[in-house]
Amino acid sequence: MSELLGVAVLGAGHMGADHVRRLDRGVSGARVAAVADPDTARAKEAAAGIDGVTVHAEAEAALDAPGVEAVLIASPGPAHEEALLAAFARGLPVLCEKPMVPDSEGALRVVEAEARGGRRLAQVGFMRRYDAEYRRLKRVLDDGRLGRPLMLHCVHRNVSSPPGFTSAMLIDSSVSHEIDAARWLLGQELTAVTVLRPRPSGGAPQGLLDPQFVLFETDGGALVDVEIFVNCGFGYQVRCEAVCEHGSARAGEDHGLLLTTAGTAGAEVPQDYLVRFADAYDREVQAWVDATRQGRATGPTAWDGYAASAVAEAGVRALESGLRTPVDLAPRPALYTDTGR
């Protein structure tokens, strides 16, 4: 391995360009060796000013470029399976943005391919696990001082959804974060989903079922509810309150700077995830770089990526049918028995 881990970044859109900047200037121990995007103008713009980087239209050409030792996948979800399998075939470690693979069959093929190789190569980009407040919440739940968790109440609001965002994506793109966070915080599997929806907001694009109210049951007898509202118009808000037998703990309470002016006082509300979770993305990518340079893997596994997709898929079926829908999980390969959850 070189002194600086040479990374190929696939996809140079919102997340990809941000990760290129982070690898180049935000974390230590890595350099951007290649950037790929079918929109080569975007790839060139993201790579501008970086020494020794090559730019490609095809993802596989970037994987084979000089100096590439690891891959960060930030292309749209449907492109992830092909990229992950191509990286595994070359023995390259991967950090893959969520959802790992949106459909559970494809996600399972990725799990099986990694398990066949006998060692972990993939980390999935569920960055909430690296957010300071979520980590404190996890520690409080794990040390047992609050007793057994009974319920998680979660709120996930975006100012607006990008073009082409569908009603299913509220669950398989947005709520996928709460699915992973709930599995991780509780150390339990989600076993059934019910989705209710109020009359859509007037602020939502025509035909989009926004907001939605998603209720999960777990194999440990807990309940997890999620308000997902992706066109709320007023701020990026992500909260999670755990209610336990002896107390509650809440993460994400907008306790930033308090501004007082013209007779009113108020807190600033971030407008998007790149601001709210900036520190979490930094810690996530640093953890991946450090582990990869030490020849190991860390963080959310391909199994966690698969489980999130299987739960989300049940959620999308529940949205369509209006019915409580059980989650069907495949047997977990031995490679993932120690999940670190």
Ligand X SMILES: NC(=O)C1=CN([C@@H]2O[C@H](COP(=O)(O)OP(=O)(O)OC[C@H]3O[C@@H](n4cnc5c(N)ncnc54)[C@H](O)[C@@H]3O)[C@@H](O)[C@H]2O)C=CC1
Ligand Y SMILES: O=C1[C@@H](O)[C@H](O)[C@@H](O)[C@H](O)[C@H]1O
Which residues sit at the interface with ligand X, rule CB under 6 A?
10-16, 36-39, 42, 59, 74-77, 79, 97-98, 125, 127, 173, 273
- Does 237 sit near ligand Y (CB under 6 A)? no
| Beta-strand relationship, 190-196 and 212-218 | antiparallel
What CA–CA distance (Å, rounded) separates 88 from 96? 12
59 binds, among ligand X, ligand Y, none (CB under 5 to 8 A by kind): ligand X
Record the tokens describing residue 183, joined without a space.
Answer: 């599995």
Closest chain position to ligand X (CB): 13
- Does 229 sit near ligand Y (CB under 6 A)? no
**Segment 89 to 128, residues that bind ligand Y, using CB under 6 A:** none
CB atoms within 10 A of CB 250: 13
- Does 212 sit near ligand Y (CB under 6 A)? no
Q: Is the dihedral of CA 74, 75, 79, 85 positive or negative?
A: negative
What CA–CA distance (Å, rounded) separates 118 from 150? 37
Record the tokens describing residue 10, joined without a space.
Answer: 């696939």
Query: Considering only CA atoms, which of 43, 33, 41 is closest in space to residue 11?
Result: 43
174 binds, among ligand Y, ligand X, none (CB under 5 to 8 A by kind): ligand Y
Nearer to ligand Y, 222 or 230 (CB): 230
37 binds, among ligand X, ligand Y, none (CB under 5 to 8 A by kind): ligand X
- Does 273 sit near ligand Y (CB under 6 A)? yes
- Does 88 sit near ligand Y (CB under 6 A)? no
CB atoms within 10 A of CB 143: 8
Nearer to ligand Y, 194 or 237 (CB): 237
Which stretch of DSSP H or E encloses residue 293? Answer: helix 278-293
**Segment 149 to 168, residues that bind ligand Y, using CB under 6 A:** 158
75 binds, among ligand Y, ligand X, none (CB under 5 to 8 A by kind): ligand X
Q: Is the dihedral of CA 195, 198, 200, 203 positive or negative?
A: negative
Provide the minimum distance between the beta carbon of 127 and ligand Y in the complex, in angstroms, as a whole number.
8
Record the tokens describing residue 118, joined without a space.
Answer: 């006998």
Part in contact with ligand Y (CB under 6 A); list of ranges 65-73, 171-179, 243-251, 294-302: 171-179
- Residues belonging to the chain: 341
- Which residues bind to ligand Y, rule: CB under 6 A? 158, 173-174, 177, 230, 273
